[in-house]
């Protein structure tokens, strides 16, 4: 079975997340091994960041859904 997804959208979301990681001071591209303290720091930073880029991204995804 092949999953149907738009790779451009996935890349765009990855880029948004990488920007958030950089703002938190996390330098690795792979964030699969974040310790709980880093997750807490990301959550705190997200509360102070402009979420508009994410909202725009999700709106674009909704417009393209079947």
> Is 15 part of any domain?
yes
For 17-61, where are the E strands, in sequence order?
none
Half-sphere exposure of 42 (CA within 13 A, CB side): 16
**Residue at 51 is within a domain:** yes
Question: Residue 1: inside a domain, yes or no?
Answer: no
| CA–CA separation, 37 and 24 (whole Å) | 11
Instruction: List pLDDT tens digits, range 29-58.
Output: 565 677 788 888 888 888 898 989 989 988
Confirm whether 2 is domain-assigned: no
| pLDDT exceeds 80 at position 65 | no
Torsion sign (Cα): 36, 18, 13, 10: negative
Report pLDDT for 2: 46
Can you read off the two tokens belonging to residue 30? 């792979």
Q: How many structural domains is the chain composed of? A: 1
| Domain presence at residue 13 | yes
Residue 58 lies in a domain: yes
Asked if residue 28 belongs to a domain, the reply is yes
Q: Is 6's pLDDT higher than 80?
A: no
Which residue range forms the structural domain that includes residue 23? Answer: 7-64
């Amino acid at each position: 079975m092949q999953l149907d997804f738009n790779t451009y959208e996935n890349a765009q979301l990855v880029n948004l997340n990488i920007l958030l990681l950089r703002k938190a001071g996390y330098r690795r591209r792979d964030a699969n091994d974040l310790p709980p303290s880093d997750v807490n720091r990301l959550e705190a930073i997200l509360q102070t960041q402009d979420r508009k880029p994410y909202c725009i991204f999700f709106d674009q995804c909704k417009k393209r859904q079947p």
